């Protein structure tokens, strides 16, 4: 993703999202010269004006989920050294990063994300109680987080911020709201003037909580952008990518296959550009649109299913859903093969996928779950296809993974993790159930696409598969892992990452 050319035109940087790397490609030889490891799922990048620094937006956070502070990071690559020299954590709960851009004067890096309030029980959506929409500002020279601002309005969310660009004259910062089919056009000079009254986050020395306690702080103030931004409804559906030129903003709409054109000065939405004939409307397609749509699928547009389940997977966070009581947060689950395996949820509280979808619409989105919407979303979930593991070699298990498969048998993993989706659908206490779910039994988890679904276990306590097999299985209640040699363990992990 995000091919970015160096100012001298000699080097191309490309984000390898699922390899967790940035490739450095020499243009003349067309060869990958280096692969720079980054934090997790790099999806966008931008170069400083002098080409010396590459800012990489990582989609998901890394680390365990049962903690009080968690966010995705922007990695800073020194292009001369070809390595990450700093990782900038965004504000607490800033996850699902999508796009990044540089102000034309080269001073500020803007990055879009969701701001998740994962520490609150999910009793409401109003005022961004669960999720709000965020824009983070980074000082390009000091490489520090400056500010986080909220892109919603007090009683109207602007869910799933995606593309972000500055107009070439630096007058406007534009953000696409993929969940509400809008763009925000923000007056950059007015924004920076308003922000300058607050201490910069990276230099304030204040912890997140202390910063949030500041009166009218921009991170939490849902009225912060009033008077300095225009929210404009587009004609198309699902705007993601943006570009601005010659006084116009162009927004590529993922679902309607159109490009909307907005006049930046007047805010007028002009005739859209059609990219081809309309795609046939199947039930799956309708379901995917609803899954991503906050305008039809959530009270006051605060979030869509995709806000917590980006790309149908997970946000890497724990949420205290009310499906199994309060005070016992669970890690968000990927929806791949969710309809093929029942019961659903960590504790199996939902009998089948249809009931899970219906309850999601009702209790998380605070909407009436009509049959039409439920069936469409269900059809979308059923249509999801796994992405082949980047750990496969030519589509096959590597030789290490093959050895790991034997360890999987030997350690008796397959007595519970069996069949096409590696689950017997039964409930067990495998020694992972302590407070607040003391003594609880959990459904054997599916193991497909494990390479991209960290953190693991019902409460996201394991940042890695090594943790699942080691630190989080101290008494061999979850497969017999204590007697494995380090090599066997490494091979087993290689196998698990290949599924
Ligand atoms: C606030 C975040 C959030 C939102 C929004 C959300 N989910 Fe979830 N979802 C979760 C969490 C957390 C779990 C795991 C809960 C558990 O294990 O008890 C989950 C689990 C599920 C599962 C069960 C997967 C499995 O294999 O067990 C399904 C299906 C699901 N969600 C569908 C949806 C749909 C459809 C929507 C939109 C109507 C939605 N979710 C919106 C957080 C969310
Ligand atoms: C007695 C049945 C049983 C056996 C044997 C077993 N598991 Fe599990 N496994 C479970 C259950 C139940 C969970 C869910 C536990 C939780 O969420 O706290 C789970 C969860 C997992 C997870 C986390 C998946 C995720 O997405 O969070 C992994 C990885 C895993 N098991 C791998 C293994 C391996 C490898 C072995 C063999 C060494 C093994 N399991 C043996 C029942 C079993």
CATH of the domain at 292: 1.10.760.10
429 and 456 inside one domain: yes
| pTM of the predicted protein model | 0.95
Given a cut of 80, is residue 208 above it in pLDDT?
no
Taking the centre of ligand 2 as the mean of its atom positions, its distance from the CA of residue 445, in whole angstroms, is: 6
| Joined tokens for residue 32 | 């990958």
State whether the beta carbon of 118 lies less than 6 angstroms from ligand 1. no
Strand positions, DSSP E, 283-380: 318-319, 330-331
Given a cut of 80, is residue 363 above it in pLDDT?
yes
344 and 414 inside one domain: no
Atom of ligand 2 nearest to the CA of 408: 37
Mean of per-residue pLDDT scores for the chain: 95
What percent of the chain has pLDDT above 90? Answer: 90
Sign of CA dihedral 274, 279, 280, 285: negative
Q: Model confidence at 203, in pLDDT bands (50, 70, 90)? A: confident
403 and 379 inside one domain: no
433 and 346 inside one domain: no
Taking the centre of ligand 1 as the mean of its atom positions, its distance from the CA of residue 287, in whole angstroms, is: 15
Taking the centre of ligand 2 as the mean of its atom positions, its distance from the CA of residue 344, in whole angstroms, is: 15
- Total structural domains in the chain? 3
403 and 376 inside one domain: no
Choose between 435 and 156: higher pLDDT. 156
Q: Model confidence at 377, in pLDDT bands (50, 70, 90)? A: very high
312 contact partners, CB below 8 Å, separation of at least 6: 291, 306, 334, 335, 336, 380, 381, 384
pLDDT in tens, 436-452: 888 899 999 999 999 99
Q: Provide the residue range defining the domain that includes 416.
A: 399-496
Residue 279 has a pLDDT of 84
* Lowest-pLDDT range of 38-47, 177-186, 316-325: 316-325
Atom of ligand 1 nearest to the CA of 131: 1
| Domain containing residue 64: CATH number | 2.40.10
Residue 313 has a pLDDT of 98
CB-defined site of ligand 2, < 6 Å: 346, 411-413, 415-417, 428, 430, 432, 442, 444-445, 447, 450, 453, 456-458, 465, 468-469, 478-479, 481, 492, 496
With respect to residue 52, please indicate whether it lies within any of the assigned structural domains: yes
Residue of 116, 295, 319 best suited for mutating to test ligand 1, as the one with most atoms within 8 Å of CB = 319
Residue nearest to atom 37 of ligand 1 (CA): 305
pLDDT in tens, 404-440: 999 999 999 999 999 999 999 999 999 999 888 888 9
Given a cut of 80, is residue 207 above it in pLDDT?
no
Q: Of 89, 109, 142, which residue is a domain's last?
A: 89
pLDDT in tens, 456-475: 999 999 999 999 999 999 99
């Amino acid at each position: 993703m995000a091919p970015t050319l160096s100012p001298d035109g000699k080097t191309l940087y490309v984000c390898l999202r699922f390899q967790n790397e940035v490739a450095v490609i020499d243009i003349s030889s067309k060869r990958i010269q280096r692969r720079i490891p980054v934090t997790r799922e790099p999806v966008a990048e931008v170069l400083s004006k002098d080409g010396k620094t590459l800012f990489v937006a990582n989609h998901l956070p890394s680390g365990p989920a049962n903690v009080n502070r968690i966010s995705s990071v922007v990695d800073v690559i020194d292009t001369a050294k070809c390595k990450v020299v700093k990782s900038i954590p965004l504000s607490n709960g800033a996850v699902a990063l999508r796009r990044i851009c540089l102000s034309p004067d080269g001073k500020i890096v803007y990055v879009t994300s969701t701001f998740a309030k994962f520490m609150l029980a999910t009793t409401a959506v109003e005022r961004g109680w669960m999720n709000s929409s965020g824009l983070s500002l980074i000082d390009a020279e000091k490489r520090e987080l400056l500010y986080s601002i909220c892109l919603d309005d007090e009683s109207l969310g602007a869910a799933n911020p995606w593309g972000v660009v500055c107009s070439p004259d630096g007058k406007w910062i534009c953000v696409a709201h993929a969940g509400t089919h809008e763009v925000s056009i923000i007056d950059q000079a007015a924004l920076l003037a308003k922000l300058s009254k607050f201490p910069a986050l990276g230099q304030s020395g204040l912890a997140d909580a202390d910063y949030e306690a500041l009166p009218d702080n921009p991170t939490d103030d849902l009225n912060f952008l009033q008077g300095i931004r225009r929210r404009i409804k587009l004609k198309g559906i699902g705007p993601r990518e943006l570009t601005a030129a010659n006084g116009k903003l162009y927004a590529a709409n993922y679902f309607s296959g159109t490009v909307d054109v907005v006049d930046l000065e007047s805010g007028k939405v002009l005739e859209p550009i059609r990219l081809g004939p309309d795609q046939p409307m199947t039930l799956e397609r309708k379901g995917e649109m609803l899954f991503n749509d906050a305008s039809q699928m959530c009270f006051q547009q605060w979030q869509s299913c995709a806000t917590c389940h980006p790309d149908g997977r997970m946000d890497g966070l724990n949420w205290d859903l009310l499906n199994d009581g309060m005070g016992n947060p669970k890690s968000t689950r990927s929806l791949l093969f969710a309809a093929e395996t029942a019961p659903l949820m960590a504790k199996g509280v939902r009998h089948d996928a249809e009931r899970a979808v219906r309850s999601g619409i009702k209790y998380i989105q605070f909407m009436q779950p009509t049959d039409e919407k439920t069936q469409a979303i269900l059809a979308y979930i059923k249509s999801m296809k796994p992405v082949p593991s980047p750990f496969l070699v030519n589509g096959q298990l590597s030789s290490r993974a093959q050895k790991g498969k034997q360890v999987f048998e030997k350690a008796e993993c397959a007595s519970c993790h069996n069949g096409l989706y590696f689950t017997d659908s039964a409930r067990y206490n495998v020694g992972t159930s302590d407070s607040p779910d003391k003594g609880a039994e959990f459904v054997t988890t599916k193991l497909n696409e494990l390479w991209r679904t960290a953190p693991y276990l019902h409460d996201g306590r394991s940042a890695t598969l090594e943790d699942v097999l080691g630190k989080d299985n101290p008494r061999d209640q979850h497969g017999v892992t204590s007697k494995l040699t380090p090599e066997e363990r490494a091979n087993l992990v290689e196998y698990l990452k290949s599924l």
